[in-house]
Structure 1
Amino acid sequence: MGEHPDCALIRRGYEAFIGGNMDTLAELMTTDVTHHVPGESSISGHHKGREACVQLYRRQYDVTGGTLRVELETLAADGRGHVISVHRCRAEREDRGLDMKEGMFFTIVGGKISDIDECHEDIDASNAFWH
């Protein structure tokens, strides 16, 4: 059995993100995509629209001096337009380090990512890192 098409879409998104290819990543999202980041940090909130999401991702790379690394561990689809991913996120920033599991809940509409809900293993640690 091959990979579910929704999982394949998300895998392509991870590959684009990991490779720093924001143009390809943007093509995989709807124009009105929203990425929800939990917590109370400088990156927390609801990033609405393709350009706002790409700006978020570029900012994450910029403030970490390019040290941000994401390692995809697993993908699971429900067959109704939702995919859950689990990955390990590592980064360094000034005198702080980040190393934790994160999860994403993706909604897919018309073969594109329309909504991303991000979950963190330790929201307080994430807040402290991204503050």
Structure 2
Amino acid sequence: MSEHPHATLVREAYDAFAKGDLAALDEVFAEDIRWHLPGRNQLSGTHVGRAAVYEMFGRLMTVTEGSFRIEVRTVLADDDHVLALVGVSARSGERSFAITDVHVCRMEHGRIAEFWDTTDDQYAADAVFG
């Protein structure tokens, strides 16, 4: 059985993110994407639009001294949503984490229209993200 096209698209988005390829992400993200991050840190909240999401990505890399990494473990998809089980690691100064996240994407017209992050250790993420 072949993978759902949305699963393939999201896997390609993770690869583009890892390479810093914003042009490739432009093809995957809706122009008015809504990106929701939990927690109580400088990255938390809802970021609306590609420019706001890319600005947050820049802050993420600055805060984590370029150490932020995502390892995709499993991707499940249907016509409306994609769920990705991922390992996430990062450090900032003496603080670091290696946690498991579930990312949920709402798809619209073949693009990611909305993204939610959930984590197994929000306290660790907040400590690193400040």
TM bin, normalised by shorter chain, reads over 0.9
> Identity over aligned residues, as a percent?
30
Across the aligned residues of Structure 1 and Structure 2, the Cα RMSD in angstroms comes to: 1.0
Secondary structure of residue in 2 paired with 1:125:
helix
- Describe how 1:24-103 pairs up with structure 2 within 5 A: 24-77=24-77, 79-103=78-102
1:34-65 per-position Cα deviation (integer Å, ceiling 9, x unaligned): 10000111100000011111111122112212
2:103 maps to which residue?
104
Secondary structure of residue in 2 paired with 1:113:
strand
TM-score (norm. length: structure 2): 0.95
Secondary structure of residue in 1 paired with 2:12:
helix
Secondary structure of residue in 1 paired with 2:79:
coil
Q: Can you give the 5+ residue segments of structure 1 that lack an aligned partner in the other structure?
A: none
Distance 1:25 1:76 in 2: 20
CA displacement at 1:125 relative to structure 2: 1.4
Distance 1:9 1:16 in 2: 10
CA displacement at 1:82 relative to structure 2: 0.2
Secondary structure of residue in 2 paired with 1:108:
strand
Q: Is the 8 A contact 1:26 1:54 kept in 2?
A: no
1:8 maps to which residue?
8
Distance 1:19 1:123 in 2: 26
- Ranges of 4+ aligned residues in structure 1 off by more than 2 Å: none
Distance 2:122 2:111 in 1: 28
Distance 2:62 2:117 in 1: 20
Distance 1:130 1:67 in 2: 12
